[in-house]
Amino acid sequence: MSNTATLPELEAESQQKTRHQPPYHVVLLNDDDHSYAYVILMLKELFGHPVEKGYQLADEVDKQGRAIVFTGAKEVAELKQEQVHAYGPDPTIKRCQGSMTAELEAAE
């Protein structure tokens, strides 16, 4: 007599689904205390946008009140938002007291 153990059947393929975190937008909000030059330079330094794209986004913020300047993983979007908030005031506008404001929103 042999001592053979019977094991429960295992699935041929493990059905594991990788869940991806949804992307997030960094949305730059308009104010009257920052110049186009400031916005364009900030977008170039923080997001790597070329001057032409920076101008388009600055114009959108000015005319629409907001513009999506980055879309990506939540952690990266949070970092980019913090960088916008830490960028500092516009040195060309005396009344400017601080950085621009950016908010996060889930990308759909």
Number of domains forming the structure of the chain: 1
Q: Is 21 helix (H, G, I), strand (E, B) or coil?
A: coil
Token pair 């830490």 is found at 86
Query: Quick check: is 31 in a domain?
Result: yes
**Domain membership of residue 67 as a residue range:** 24-106
Residue 13 forms part of a structural domain: no
Q: Is residue 8 part of a domain?
A: no
The CATH number that applies at residue 71 is 3.30.1390.10
In a domain, 1, yes or no: no
- For every one of its 108 residues, what pLDDT tens digit does the chain have, with 9 covering 90 and above? 556 666 555 554 555 666 788 999 999 999 989 999 999 999 999 999 999 999 999 999 999 999 999 999 999 999 999 999 999 999 999 999 999 999 999 998
Whole-model pTM? Answer: 0.80
Q: Does residue 4 fall inside a structural domain?
A: no
Question: Which residue shows structure tokens 């330079």?
Answer: 41
Give 108's contacts (C-beta < 8 A, 6+ positions apart): none
Residue 54 falls within a domain, yes or no?
yes
Q: How far apart are CA 86 and CA 10, in angstroms?
A: 54
